[in-house]
Structure 1
Amino acid sequence: MVQQNTKGDGKKKLASKNDINLAQANPGHFSLVRNFYVADIITLMNGVCGVQSVLSSMKYLVSHDVGDLYRAMLFMPFGLFFDFMDGRVARWRKDSSLLGQELDSLADLISFGVAPAALAFAIGMRTYLDTIVLTYFVSCGIARLARYNASVALAPKDATGKVSYFEGTPIPTSLSLVALLAYFVHNDLYMESLPGNIIKVFNGLDLHPLVLVYAVSGTLMISKTLRIPKP
């Protein structure tokens, strides 16, 4: 699944009754976990991959072991796999809820928003202006996911009830940035060897030009006029 949209479409149809039932049933301890559908567990695995990626990037800052960077990058495609599978399982089992839709967005934010930004910081984009750009990128991801959740019910749909197009690029497209960084790391072009010379923007404020690809990616995510046909 390219974005949480696939599972979200199916969940909107059955959400009302399912969520009322979830709210009324099993009020005891751990009732939330007992009410998870199989698809929700798969969605959580997406979030687990995102957290593991962030922690691996953080570990590199201490260990300076390039293997930690590779692990950080590897967890993100695994997150995409779980993001793809959860919608398929939800439709196969006809199990869906608004809870699952929100889980999907939160997991996507970690795996395809926070994790790529943490990786960029780990490999050398660490100036103050770099961190501002990376924060902008994550904020765009938050806005993108929130806009989808708020507007999916009104979005144009095809004959099967699926959304016809995405407004702005889906947040998993950030994996293209991860692929670019993986190429640099593989060729020892990271830390002080990152391509591009540091730009002196203001006195004492530097910017690595490579971080601007994150700014572009974030801007495309929140675009209102850019419409991506849904595969």
Structure 2
Amino acid sequence: MSKRSSVAANGGGVSKDVTDPTEDKQKVLLSTETGHFSLIRAMHLADLITELNGLCGIMSVFSSMRYLLGDPTSLGNLYASLAFLPLGLFFDFFDGKVARWRKKSSMMGQELDSLADLISFGVSPAVVAFAIGMRTPLDHLCLAFFVLCGLTRLARFNVTATAVPKDSTGKALYFEGTPIPTSLGLDAMMAYWVSQGWIHAAIPGGVWFADTILEVHPVVVIFMIHGCLMTSKTLHVPKP
């Protein structure tokens, strides 16, 4: 007997609600099959596309690190770190389309989606913010708060996805809190700052309480607000 799987294609962005009679088969393959490539053989095509989303997030982090190790006036790696994030969103949407086309989804796919989204839309934007100059200890705590909000939002989605009211087709009517890919708004904001040269000492808002333990760039509050919106229980965002 087949069962309905609600799989998060973008951390709460798109649900892959498809009837998948092969889900149990994949679980059996993952738990019993042996061999060096048994994990790869058990993955669906949509799962491999989800991995590309995670790859984009990882490459964004590496590009930020390469920028930090190089000439701060050479912005190529910084622009690359920003560009990888919307590319990750493309794969995030595409894996859901492939899952529905092939009528294959899985619990493993759900977990991959959330983990990839945490890298691409949680960790990576925070690393870019660090790269452009938000580097005080208090900045670090605020950016960590943002990432942890994304982590919590994804965990809640995985637990409550089946409890959210559905329409006649089985599609969830709304998101609880803003989906984590909406952090691309932060990505766009930072890209604009980079294009205007508003980085490092020129970050908008400057720095408060300089040379004290409370030294902080006030713009990190934007990241914290976004984190609070992601974890909101009462904010219901209608699905398109």
Verify the 8 A CA contact 1:197 1:208 in the aligned structure 2: yes
The counterpart of 2:127, out of the listed 114, 118, 128, is 118
- Tell me by how many angstroms 1:123 deviates: 0.1
Tell me, yes or no, if structure 1 residue 184 matches structure 2 residue 193: yes
SS in 1 for 2:209: strand
Write 1 or 2 for the structure with the bigger share of helix.
1
| 5+ residue gaps, structure 2 | 1-7
Partner of 1:206: 215
Tell me, yes or no, if structure 1 residue 60 matches structure 2 residue 67: yes
Aligned pairs for 1:45-124 within 5 A: 45-63=52-70, 64=72, 65-124=74-133
- CA distance in 2 between counterparts of 1:212 and 1:56 reads 24
- CA distance in 2 between counterparts of 1:7 and 1:95 reads 15
Closer, same or farther: CA 203–6 of 1 in aligned 2, 3 Å: closer
- Tell me by how many angstroms 1:140 deviates: 0.2
Tell me, yes or no, if structure 1 residue 37 matches structure 2 residue 44: yes
Verify the 8 A CA contact 1:112 1:172 in the aligned structure 2: yes
- Tell me by how many angstroms 1:155 deviates: 1.3
Aligned length: 231
Partner of 2:3: none
Please provide the CA RMSD for this pair. 2.0
- CA distance in 2 between counterparts of 1:12 and 1:54 reads 36
Verify the 8 A CA contact 1:7 1:91 in the aligned structure 2: no
TM-score by length of 2: 0.90
The counterpart of 1:160, out of the listed 163, 169, 176, is 169
TM-score by length of 1: 0.94
- CA distance in 2 between counterparts of 1:77 and 1:85 reads 12
- Tell me by how many angstroms 1:56 deviates: 0.5
Aligned pairs for 1:4-23 within 5 A: 4-5=11-12, 8-10=15-17, 14=21, 16-23=23-30
1:188-226 residue CA offsets vs partner (Å, 9 max, x unmatched) = 111111111311199432110111100000010000100
Closer, same or farther: CA 205–14 of 1 in aligned 2, 3 Å: farther
| 5+ residue gaps, structure 1 | none
- CA distance in 1 between counterparts of 2:215 and 2:183 reads 24
- Tell me by how many angstroms 1:22 deviates: 2.4
